[in-house]
Homo-oligomer: A and B are copies of this chain.
Amino acid sequence: MIPSIPDIAQPDLARRLRHKLDNKTKPLGSLGRIEALAVQLGLILGSESPQLIRPQLVVFAGDHGLAARGVSAYPSDVTAQMVENFLSGGAAVSVLARQHGLALTVVDCGVRSVFSPRAGLIDRKIAAGTADCLGAPAMTPAQCAQAVHNGREIVAELGGNALLLGEMGIGNTSCASLLLARLAGRDLADCVGAGTGLDAAGVERKRRVLQEVMTFHANAIAPLDVLAAMGGFEIATMVGAVLEAAAGRRVIVVDGFISSAAVLVAQRLAPHVVQRCVFSHRSGEPGHALMLDQLAAGPGEPPRALLDLGLRLGEGSGAALAWPLLVSACALLDEMASFESAGVSGPRDGTPQAQR
């Protein structure tokens, strides 16, 4: 069920990528974090000239039994309405996917409504929403395993070498908060935020409900048990998608708080997953910074997201907004002249640029 996801550190290739960047016509390191991104993309795709091919933005959608307890500012119906909006091209992520030439696929992982079949929609519905996880596990172990399997299968069938994660599910910031609190051993209060726009009283009510859920599922400790107990169908399917994309050495562009929660589960199952992840933005949801702290790929610094624009929409909108930066990183690596080829002098002291 969990594919093999090897370490892709490759010190030799990293050195060659670094050397290539250092010989480009620019002061050393002057492209800042775009240079680190270029090295990461090279390591993921195993090339000194990584090329991003047919990027796939997949929006995983599902409903949540817990939503009936008023943990979101919006009613559950909005999940299905937004699926229709994604498909008809009017959602934020639809607009951004068009702008950047990203193939957009919506997966019904467990929405309460039934959709008519059409292009761009994949039906992998496990059930019409999860069970209310205050009183039962959100899903059975078999449902959870099926969702993870579905995610793997969907990614395996999609082409390209880059997966951008999106999601839709009224109530799913609650799941992400619960997964973070349990898997990271953090105080729940630090993990809960306003989601789609609760006021202070709403956040406090949400926090109380989620605390009861945490207590009810006190025995769920192992990652897949936590996922089944307090996750969602769209999150479980996304976990499978992340695992498959990582196993296939695709670039995984993580969106915000909820898709990071799926990555967190996947990382607990296969730590090297994170080497393949580009974190597109730092969400306005306060738990997201804690989540990123959990997702260090190695002993070093936790990952820094590319954008910090106060986004808190989900859908993959942050992943799509950041996408051109990945394209830029590859283009700069591939197309910029070297000091030698352009006949540009190095620094005044005569030290060869790349050795400084």
Contacts and interface: CB of A to CB of B under 8 A. Distances in A.
Contacts of A341: 90
A337 B90 CA distance: 4
A74 interface: yes
Contacts of A73: 27, 347-349
Contact of A331 (B96, B313, B324, B325): B96
Contact of A310 (B33, B99, B310): B33
A91 B345 contact: no
Interface stretch (A80-88, A124-132, A210-218, A242-250): A80-88
Contact of A332 (B77, B95, B343): B95
Given A30-B196, A99-B324, A321-B34, A78 B345 contact: yes
A200 interface: no
Contact of A81 (B32, B75, B343): B343
Contacts of A284: 30, 32
A31 interface: yes
Interface in A276-326: 284, 306-313, 317, 321, 324-325
Interface in A324-339: 324-325, 327-328, 331-332, 335-337
A135 interface: no
A64 interface: no
Interface in A248-282: none
Nearest to A335: B95
A65 interface: no
A28 B199 CA distance: 12
Main secondary structure of the interface of A (DSSP, over half): loop
Given A82-B25, A312-B30, A100 B332 contact: no
A32 B311 contact: yes
A4 B28 CA distance: 42
A344 interface: yes
A141 interface: no
A70 B347 CA distance: 11
A24 interface: yes
A5 interface: no
A53 interface: no
A205 interface: no
Contacts of A309: 32-34, 306
Given A91-B337, A96-B328, 12 more contacts: A26-B92, A27-B73, A31-B313, A32-B312, A70-B348, A74-B345, A78-B344, A84-B343, A90-B342, A95-B332, A100-B324, A197-B347
